[in-house]
Structure 1
């Protein structure tokens, strides 16, 4: 009897939470690298607001969701260094396997449509590591 009650309680608690929210986090670490190293970088969110800046190599933490319903975050990271042309790379978020398969097995509709869409745990930021290759600026022609 006690085992049946425990099994029911575990099942109900899993059904009332989203699988990605259980195993995922609302932020993710991204490694920021460039060739050559020592480049400055600025990361802007999808609203154009600068959320992080520094010098390569670095490891930074980015939010995966803005907290709204299905509010995944997108970023652009711009690298610059004297004598080199600037490079901008996207960082995009996509639904991860825990959201898709985990809710299929454990979380059900509540996880898919009520819990996980508000939590960044359902997303994975890609790429997890940026490697910008900066090209030297051409020498200006003097006439």
Structure 2
């Protein structure tokens, strides 16, 4: 009788391993991702692959992004950084393959690799942090670009004249 129980427990354990996905066990469907811009404290907007706004606010922040958008399709997002309503930086981010997904070869089997992990989205991973570079010229100058002005020296104040350099 003991041998039957051992076989039943072993079969049940083996069956549960083959009906689960390795990445699904170790990972979750969503993962917090730190979002920042260079420079910081600018407005951001994150749009998913379908054009829906997922998150808006100011950098730096942490958002939770879906790892996948559909069966066997990684999550893809566009992050826009704005200053004074003008987009000064954009970056597209896609989820990559989660290394635990390949654990299915040993533990999760074909069901974990083809069904469970792709359906749960755990076969993908999002980066832990993303820093979007901005167009430094636009950020530094804002909406008012500097212009060259030619003036007569006689129109300068004495404080302005003291800053002149002889060439």
Task: Note the C-alpha offset of 1:125.
Answer: 1.4
Aligned twin of 1:107: 108
Task: Note the C-alpha offset of 1:34.
Answer: 1.5
Aligned twin of 1:46: 49
CA RMSD of aligned residues (A): 2.1
Aligned twin of 1:77: 79
Contact 1:65 1:120 in 2 (8 A): yes
Q: 2:13 aligns with which of 10, 24, 39?
A: 10
Task: Note the C-alpha offset of 1:140.
Answer: 5.4
Distance 2:124 2:87 in 1: 32
Contact 1:43 1:75 in 2 (8 A): yes
1:88 partnered with 2:90: yes
Aligned twin of 1:119: 120
Do the aligned partners of residues 46 and 83 (structure 1) sit closer, same or farther apart at CA in structure 2, a change above 3 Å counting?
Answer: closer
Deviating above 6 A after TM superposition, structure 1's stretches of 4 or more consecutive aligned residues are: none
Task: Note the C-alpha offset of 1:85.
Answer: 5.8
Aligned twin of 1:32: 35
Deviations 1:63-120 (A, max 9, x none): 1123x321321001011123986111111112211112x1011011111112111111
Distance 1:49 1:142 in 2: 43
SS at match of 2:20: coil
Aligned residue-pair number: 140
Compute the TM-score of the two structures, normalised by the length of structure 1. Answer: 0.86
Structure with bigger gyration radius: 2
Distance 2:113 2:124 in 1: 12
